[in-house]
A and B are shown apart, each in its own frame.
Chain A
Amino acid sequence: MKDISPGALCGAVLTGGLLAVALLGAVWTPFDPMALNFAARLAAPDAVHWLGTDEFGRDVLSRLFAGATTSVWISFVTVALAVSAGTLIGVISGYFRGWTDRVLMMLNDALLAFPGILLALGLLAIFGANQYGIVLALGLGYTPTVVRIVRGTVLSLREREFIEASRVMGNSDTYTMLRHILPNCIAPLTVLATSMFGWVLLAESALSFLGLGVPPPEPTWGNMLASGRPFISQAVWLAIFPGLCISFTLLGVNLLGDALRDRLDPRMRR
């Protein structure tokens, strides 16, 4: 149990770093991420602006910090929303089966037929492009995946004798679900939530890049990447650093997700 694989360590360090930066970005940044400074437009990385400045002279490092805060907050809330809604529906669907299950699964399958990001795009058109719109749209978009996984887990748990034992003891359905079903779903849910954190972060960046996410001037990695794109020949750092942030974060989260899966849920190991 003691041995930690290099992949897991790497994942934990990268993800931990991201969370630290996101927390730090909420309270302190080297410069004001929104402060314009036309004297230092498109400045290359130097001793003052470590990662250079953008077309309005804003400090890129500060904006990356602030962007991390926004991205992590969005991903976190989105995952929480998707996991709680998905778990609720999945547990009910898997536990009661019958027509409840059939109706819920029909709706769920219909939603699953759309790729999450496409569904989110459509929903964003309704909710409007802002942080809350993104959280709602992505949350709804990823709920069906959670429902699928939770329902599958519950269906197999339901056949285990301790669920029958609980019924024989005279426990109510609600009690059985809360006391016996839910705790046994935590391992697969932890694994799912971790990798989903990565997917949502990427989806949020993609939406912001497309201009459908958090609107400028509020920085996120996605819209920084988008606003850096026209200047790529003159100021390559504008696109490189947000891109690297997204890549390393995803790498870290995925490595951590794999490690968690191996530890918590050996059945899902590939």
Chain B
Amino acid sequence: MQKIPHVLDVRGLSLEAGRTGIRILRNISFDVRPGEIVGIVGESGSGKSMAARAVMGLNPPEIRQTAGAINFEGRDVGILAKRDLRALRGARIGMVFQEPMTSLNPSMTIGQQLEEGLRLHVKTTRQDRQDRILQILDQIGLTDPKAALAAMPHHFSGGMRQRIMLASVMLLKPALLIADEPTTALDAVIQRDVLELMVSLTRESNTAVLMISHDLAMVASYSDRVVVMAQGEVVEQGATSQLLAAPRHPYTQKLLSALPRRAAARVIPAASVPRVEVRGLVVDYPGRGGLLRRGAPKRALNGIDLSVQPGEILAVVGGSGSGKTTLGRTIAGLIAPTAGEIRFNGAPVGTARTSDRAYRLNCQMVFQDPYSSLDPRMTIGALVAEALRHTPGLSAQARHARVGEALDEVGLSADFAPRYPHQLSGGQRQRVAIARAIAARPQFVIADEPVSALDVTVRAQVLHLFADLQRRHGFSCLFISHDLAVVEQIADRVVVMAQGRVIEQGSRDAIFDTPREGYTRDLLRAIPTLFPTEQGGVRPGWRLASGA
């Protein structure tokens, strides 16, 4: 049957956690052929990273393989001696990790780190090693490869480090590259560059790629075949375009239907006085001091003008370092502006410590990380009730009722009130955070990446909930996100930020369909997207592919 030999052939693999006997993987099978890109997608807890690590023999000893076999180039990795396994790692199987900031050794020069692998696995002269290293550094787009040899990792940006990581792995021309969330920590524009580099480097040496990610759109755009995992099992696998066009398994269907889609545009009438208005906002962070002198201040926001209309969701998008989070925190009063003005219903507001009551009662915030935004020592009921502390004229009884009401509204119930945050899932916690934000019926809510920490299906639910609540209560919202797909679904208007400035703003449809600025176009082009098809599936593609 098998005409093409597999590089990797995983058959009926089951893993169990040592003492507890919890099954981590159940009878999973997939294979990777030479030069092929296979993507494993799944939500957190699906076991996708465990599967990849098992191939490398990298799982901690408590995790036992109870059944199945991992055949790499015809040899069973599971029963290989440690020595043979070490010889495989690096030389035949390379791995790129998620976090470029920590996967390079900060105390070694780039040259030393690249040479390390070569010296270990390839018998050749020092001169030849140097040549190979310089060649690949040139290939990954370093302007001065010779100088880079002596440079330390901290001299490079995250994207560049991930390229260097990729170079160090591809230097040995392995038969298989395992990329575990290789670009999750990177900005959209850089993400595309790194992935394209990965594809070109691996194609050149006919290296197969096993790409693990939660990002279905990214996996779909780059891989030939997709393996969908859920709760330790492979639920569906097949050629990417076929699988996405006609998903058979209910989980895959659920995953695809959970993808953000553009909602119908709403008409928000411009009020005479905007709910929130920001004029000429400047924020400087104090410079990082030297030993004796303080460095020059760093300008995080550089003259921001924007306004949020009553009942409108204004999205702020931008890469990391664009200042979008600083903007949200400044408007919330957590950071004192260096210059400029914030007006609420026409009246200027101060900082969190001095600002007037009306604004404090009416401006609430939903944070990104539901694991750190709820005090672990307080019950859900107490957490939501706390938001009502400053609401005037509310009896203890009325407050109690309002807490139950708020929990009902976010799809939990009053039964959750006595529980503690650690007893809840991430999605439930974020619902609590939303309940807390809306309990006092604020006129304005700042949501800083409210769904970024959530899994695809949960994200869809929470996003729906948020949009529903916004429609019901009519609060204005500043929605900060790096995720364009989410913004496309929920925003009425969009502000694009880069380097502390507003690059472009306009209605959602204008920004997404006819962006004017080059930066906005780059941003839109960088993000792989799944477009719905008539058959109920999706097809991968790129935005603005046809346009300028």
Query: Which A residues are closer than 8 A to B by beta carbons?
Result: 160-162, 164-171, 173, 179-180, 183-184, 186
Pair B373/A165 contact, Cβ less than 8 Å: yes
Is B217 at the interface (CB under 8 A from chain A)?
Answer: no
Q: Mark B319-342, 1 if CB is under 8 A from A, else 0.
A: 000000000010011100000000
With contact pairs A167-B334, A169-B386 given, residues A162 and B364 touching in the complex (Cβ less than 8 Å): no
- For residue A164, which residue of chain B has the nearest CB? B334
Measured between alpha carbons, how far is A118 from B365 in the docked complex, in Å? 51
Q: Which of B360, B369, B390 contacts A161 (CB 8 A)?
A: B369
Q: Which range contains the number of B residues in contact with the other chain? A: 20 to 34
Pair A170/B360 contact, Cβ less than 8 Å: yes
Pair B352/A168 contact, Cβ less than 8 Å: yes
Q: Mark B342-369, 1 if CB is under 8 A from A, else 0.
A: 0000000000110001001101110111
Pair A165/B361 contact, Cβ less than 8 Å: no
Pair A165/B367 contact, Cβ less than 8 Å: yes
Q: Which residues of A contact B171 (CB under 8 A)?
A: none
Pair A180/B364 contact, Cβ less than 8 Å: no
Pair B373/A168 contact, Cβ less than 8 Å: no
Measured between alpha carbons, how far is A165 from B437 in the docked complex, in Å? 9
Pair B352/A161 contact, Cβ less than 8 Å: no
With contact pairs A161-B373, A180-B375 given, residues A171 and B389 touching in the complex (Cβ less than 8 Å): yes
With contact pairs A164-B334, A169-B386, A170-B390 given, residues A184 and B367 touching in the complex (Cβ less than 8 Å): no
Q: Which residues of A contact B378 (CB under 8 A)?
A: 179-180, 183
Pair A168/B363 contact, Cβ less than 8 Å: yes
**A19: shortest Cβ distance to chain B, in Å?**
27
Pair A166/B386 contact, Cβ less than 8 Å: yes
Measured between alpha carbons, how far is A170 from B352 in the docked complex, in Å? 7
Measured between alpha carbons, how far is A167 from B390 in the docked complex, in Å? 12
Pair A184/B376 contact, Cβ less than 8 Å: yes
Q: Which of A161, A171, A184 contacts B377 (CB 8 A)?
A: A184
Interface centre among B357, B368, B387 (most CB of A within 10 A): B387
Interface of B is mostly: loop
Is B374 at the interface (CB under 8 A from chain A)?
Answer: yes
Measured between alpha carbons, how far is A186 from B353 in the docked complex, in Å? 27
With contact pairs A168-B352, A183-B377 given, residues A161 and B368 touching in the complex (Cβ less than 8 Å): yes
**16 A-B pairs (CB sep. < 8 Å):** A160-B373, A161-B372, A161-B373, A162-B372, A162-B374, A164-B373, A165-B433, A165-B436, A166-B386, A168-B333, A168-B365, A169-B390, A170-B361, A170-B390, A180-B377, A180-B378
- For residue B332, which residue of chain A has the nearest CB? A168
Interface contacts beyond A164-B373, A183-B377: sample of 9 additional A-B pairs, CB < 8 Å, sorted by A? A160-B372, A161-B367, A168-B332, A168-B364, A169-B387, A170-B389, A171-B386, A184-B377, A186-B377
Q: Which residues of B contact A164 (CB under 8 A)?
A: 329, 334, 365, 367, 373
6 interchain residue pairs of minimum CB distance? A170-B360, A161-B373, A161-B367, A183-B377, A160-B372, A168-B365
Measured between alpha carbons, how far is A167 from B354 in the docked complex, in Å? 11
Q: Which residues of A contact B369 (CB under 8 A)?
A: 161
CB contacts under 8 Å to A, within B362-418, are 363-365, 367-369, 372-378, 386-387, 389-390
Q: Which residues of A contact B390 (CB under 8 A)?
A: 169-171
**B541: shortest Cβ distance to chain A, in Å?**
36
**B138: shortest Cβ distance to chain A, in Å?**
41
Q: Which residues of B contact A171 (CB under 8 A)?
A: 386, 389-390
- For residue A183, which residue of chain B has the nearest CB? B377
Q: Which residues of B contact A173 (CB under 8 A)?
A: 353
Measured between alpha carbons, how far is A184 from B363 in the docked complex, in Å? 26
Measured between alpha carbons, how far is A183 from B365 in the docked complex, in Å? 23
Measured between alpha carbons, how far is A170 from B332 in the docked complex, in Å? 10
Measured between alpha carbons, how far is A209 from B333 in the docked complex, in Å? 58
Measured between alpha carbons, how far is A165 from B373 in the docked complex, in Å? 7
Measured between alpha carbons, how far is A160 from B433 in the docked complex, in Å? 14
**A263: shortest Cβ distance to chain B, in Å?**
15
- For residue A185, which residue of chain B has the nearest CB? B377
Measured between alpha carbons, how far is A25 from B389 in the docked complex, in Å? 49
Measured between alpha carbons, how far is A183 from B378 in the docked complex, in Å? 9
Pair A162/B373 contact, Cβ less than 8 Å: yes
- For residue A167, which residue of chain B has the nearest CB? B352
**B283: shortest Cβ distance to chain A, in Å?**
16
Interface centre among A165, A166, A173 (most CB of B within 10 A): A165
**A162: shortest Cβ distance to chain B, in Å?**
5
**B386: shortest Cβ distance to chain A, in Å?**
6
Pair B375/A184 contact, Cβ less than 8 Å: yes
Pair B387/A162 contact, Cβ less than 8 Å: no
Q: Which residues of A contact B368 (CB under 8 A)?
A: 161
Measured between alpha carbons, how far is A260 from B510 in the docked complex, in Å? 59
- For residue B377, which residue of chain A has the nearest CB? A183
Q: Which residues of B contact A161 (CB under 8 A)?
A: 367-369, 372-373
Measured between alpha carbons, how far is A263 from B245 in the docked complex, in Å? 50
Pair A169/B334 contact, Cβ less than 8 Å: no
**A92: shortest Cβ distance to chain B, in Å?**
16
Q: Mark B429-465, 1 if CB is under 8 A from A, else 0.
A: 0000100100000000000000000000000000000
Q: Which residues of B contact A166 (CB under 8 A)?
A: 375, 386
- For residue B363, which residue of chain A has the nearest CB? A168
Q: Mark B465-488, 1 if CB is under 8 A from A, else 0.
A: 000000000000000000000000
CB contacts under 8 Å to A, within B525-548, are none
**B297: shortest Cβ distance to chain A, in Å?**
16
